[in-house]
Structure 1
Amino acid sequence: METETLLARLVRELAAVDPVAVWAHGSLAGGDYQEGRSDLDLIAMLPGPVTPGVLWRTAVLHARLRREALAPKLHCTYLTPDTAADPARRHLTWAHQQLFGRPVTPVTRAELHAFGRVLHGAPPAGLLPPLPDGSLREFVLRDQRDYWRRALDRPRLWTEDVWVDLGLVTFARASATVRDGRLISKREALDLLPALGAPGEVVDDVRGRRYDDPPPPVTREWRARRAGLVRGYLGPAIDALVASNG
Structure 2
Amino acid sequence: MYNHEEAIGPTLASVLDYGYPVLLVDDGSSPACRDVLISLERQYGDRVCLIRLEQNGGKGAAVKAGLRQLLKQGYTHAVQIDADGQHDLNDLPLFLELGMASPDALVTGYPRYDESVPALRYYARYLTHVWVWINTLSFRIKDTMCGFRVYPLAPVVELLDREPCGNRMDFDPEVIVRWAWRGLPIKNLPTRVHYPLDGVSHFDAVKDNVLISLMHARLFFGMLVRLPSIIRRRRNG
Same fold judged by TM-score > 0.5?
no
- TM-score normalized by the length of structure 2: 0.29
- TM-score normalized by the length of structure 1: 0.28
Considering Cα pairs closer than 8 Å and 6+ residues apart, tell me whether 1 or 2 has the greater RCO.
Answer: 2
Q: Give the greater-gyration-radius structure (CA).
A: 1
